[in-house]
Amino acid sequence: MTSITTAACIGGGVIGGGWIARFLLAGIDVAVFDPHPEASRIVGEVLANAERAYGMLTGAPLPPRGKLTFCTTLEEAVAGADWIQESVPERLDLKRGVLNQIDAAAKPEALIGSSTSGLLPTDLQRDMKFPQRLFVAHPYNPVYLLPLVELVGGEKTSPATITAAMDRLVPIGMKGVHIAKEIEAFVGDRLLEALWREALWLIKDDICTVETLDDVIRYSFGLRWAQMGLFQTYRIAGGEAGMRHFLAQFGPCLAWPWTKLTDVVDLDDEFVEKIGQQSDEQAAGRSIRELERIRDENLVGILQTLKGSDGGKGWGAGKLLKDFEHTLWAAGAGTATALDPSQPLRLVDVKVSPAWVDYNSHMTEHRYLQVFGDTSDALLRLVGVDLAYVEAGHSYYTVETHIRNLGEAKLGQAIHATCQVLSADDKRLHVFHTIHDSISGAVIATGEHLLLHVDSVAGKTVAAPTEILAKIRAITDAHASLPVPEGVGRPVGQKR
């Protein structure tokens, strides 16, 4: 599978900024060109929200963040890029001009995607010298969380370009869907436009307010759509007879004069102000950035739920997230192999993200357990208990834990966790983890854990295989000469 090594983003607004964050958090260097005087601030705020969201989204080891470079010219930005994403305002003349500039300056093998919401790629590529590499790559906001990208080729786009684009989206956790025929607004926006048109009429005719309309969506079919889409939802609505029964029962309704899909509402000043006023009331003083953070938290919760669906195999966007995490864990496996086993192993380095803190801006209680769990996982990967090993039916399960909170980890603080192996036999692994402040070295918390090797299929404790035990014993023997950490074996409540 081919990966993107360097990306260029032309335009850093809402969509462009989302692309930048998606690339950077996948470990890809990004060169940006945007003449807006506050482009750096806007992109920085989007990136901060994205990092906060990823802190909630996954515990898998993200690659080191890519390097972000703001360039003074478009030519400088695209010069070495493998994937170039154009996200300038939705005007054909503007986009066509920008894409022609990109085409002239980019290396021949670079892929060029346009974030257009509805312009045809044939029209966009009309004057390009190498039109075969231009395609629509239409994402959804926020790009760093919503994984879908509609891929649409024009008359001169080569099939190999679409194939390459789909292939390169996978390592960054996105799903490319190929729209087989060119059509204005593609698929997603055509569906949204139909709903949007009817919604405007309902507000115009005072049937409901914008808040009521949004409540109708978010408390009902919006929840269904989030996990099963339209047609599969209606298949269930057809009962045991399925989709055919549903179409027979409800198909005739389509001829009823319910909707105003062929009529266009007049967006005059009075109606725009009406919607604006109701929208202001609905926001209740929350800023756009606050609403974005709330949106991100909600999306993360939905994605996490979908990840655990279908018996833990994942469902829809949750399965995509699960598969993406598998690649992250696989890429992160073995990163600690160069550590000195004669010292406690430094296995986890993180910063306390906004998603980890409580109302005091201190790391909340369950996050300490998460860091200790991540440390145990890192140790297990080091000795060969990786995803493939677990999927084959064996693992180590934690059966006892004792955590001591000795200090405070605060928002933005760099912390790291070390592991000392106290003892091990063919079934048991006794470890002691310590969370440190990465600057001062001060101890923030300790965790003592006992793990048992299990056959997860049979549901019983079994001896670990020889090759795993050999790696564990090498670390155990090296750690045997270390001082016993203060706090080992302490019962809860023991006086210091």
Statement: residue 361 has pLDDT above 90: no
Length of the chain, please? 496
Domains of the chain: total:
3
Shared domain check, 352 and 251:
no
Q: Does 171 reside within a domain?
A: yes
Shared domain check, 213 and 109:
no
Q: Does 340 reside within a domain?
A: yes
- Domain enclosing residue 274, as ranges: 190-285
Q: Does 169 reside within a domain?
A: yes
Answer for the pair 19, 94: CB distance below 8 angstroms, yes or no: no
Mean pLDDT over 66-85 rounds to 97
Shared domain check, 233 and 165:
no
Shared domain check, 353 and 253:
no
Shared domain check, 33 and 152:
yes
**Both tokens of residue 105?**
């300056």
Mean pLDDT over 353-375 rounds to 89
Q: Does 302 reside within a domain?
A: no
Burial of 348 (0-12, 13-18, 19+ CB in 10 A): buried
Shared domain check, 24 and 153:
yes
What pLDDT sits at residue 336? 46
Q: Does 490 reside within a domain?
A: no
Mean pLDDT over 66-86 rounds to 97
Shared domain check, 346 and 238:
no
Final residue in a domain of this structure, among 186, 212, 239 = 186
**Both tokens of residue 157?**
């786009």
Final residue in a domain of this structure, among 254, 285, 316 = 285
123 CB neighbour count, 10 Å cutoff: 15
Answer for the pair 30, 9: CB distance below 8 angstroms, yes or no: yes
Shared domain check, 351 and 253:
no
Lowest mean pLDDT among 148-152, 270-274, 280-284, 388-392: 388-392
Shared domain check, 371 and 348:
yes
Query: For residue 233, what are the CA distances in angstroms to 189, 199, 225, 239, 306?
Result: 20, 21, 7, 11, 16
**Both tokens of residue 201?**
């009429």
Shared domain check, 100 and 45:
yes
Which residue type, as a one-letter code, is found at position 313? K
Final residue in a domain of this structure, among 153, 186, 219 = 186
Shared domain check, 150 and 58:
yes
First to last CA, the chain: 55
Answer for the pair 7, 71: CB distance below 8 angstroms, yes or no: no
Tens of pLDDT, residues 201-217: 999 999 999 999 999 99
Angstrom distance (rounded) from CA 129 to CA 444: 60
Given the DSSP bridges, would you call strands 345-351 and 68-70 parallel, antiparallel or unpaired?
A: unpaired
Q: Does 311 reside within a domain?
A: no
Residue 275: pLDDT band (50, 70, 90) is very high
CATH number of the domain within which 109 lies: 3.40.50.720
Shared domain check, 160 and 148:
yes
Q: Does 309 reside within a domain?
A: no
| Residue % of the chain over a pLDDT of 70 | 98
Q: Cα-flanking dihedrals φ and ψ of residue 439, to 5°?
A: -90, -50
CATH number of the domain within which 230 lies: 1.10.1040.10
Q: Does 315 reside within a domain?
A: no
